[in-house]
Amino acid sequence: MSDLLALAYPWIKALHIISVISWMAALFYLPRLFVHHIEKAGLSGSTHDIFTLMEFKLATVIMRPAMIATWVFGLALVFTPGIVDWTAVWPYTKAACVIAMSGFNDWLMARMREFGEGKNKLTGRQYRLLNEVPTVLMILIVVSVVVKF
């Protein structure tokens, strides 16, 4: 199995990067949709329904599959011999940040369901601030993987 992973390494790495880009795009965009939803559409009416549909499609058609693909290809890279130096700090930093990013993903999914039910409790300003969470995590992940401290 490890021979197969080593042979497929460039493809797995490429698919992992593509998945991460797709996931990050959704993580950046969904909170912005929430900002405009609460500030421009409110929690009822036809514009609310359009925002709810857009949020649902983004979360279920792009964000969730991209997160799953990121995890699958990332774990394949972890199990490829010689890729991860387990004596370094960076794999653990990256893992903690990816777990936190997955938690943020799940938190966004819960907020999306609340919007659909007309039960949002946060303001546009709060969503703007929370939109920085994936940015900070992304910076930590990229620095961890590239610098390999």
* Domain interval for residue 57: 2-147
Taking alpha carbons only, the member of 146, 4, 6 closest to residue 82 is 6
The alpha carbon of 124 is separated from its chain's Cα centroid by a whole number of angstroms, namely 20
Determine the Cα–Cα distance for residues 37 and 41; give it in Å rounded to an integer. Answer: 5
pLDDT digit string (tens) for the chain, length 149 residues: 678 888 999 999 999 999 999 999 999 999 999 999 999 998 899 999 999 999 999 999 999 999 999 999 999 999 999 999 999 999 999 999 999 999 999 999 999 999 999 999 999 999 999 999 999 999 999 999 999 98
Number of domains in the chain: 1
pTM, entire model: 0.92
Task: Decide if 61 contacts 55 (C-beta within 8 A).
Answer: no
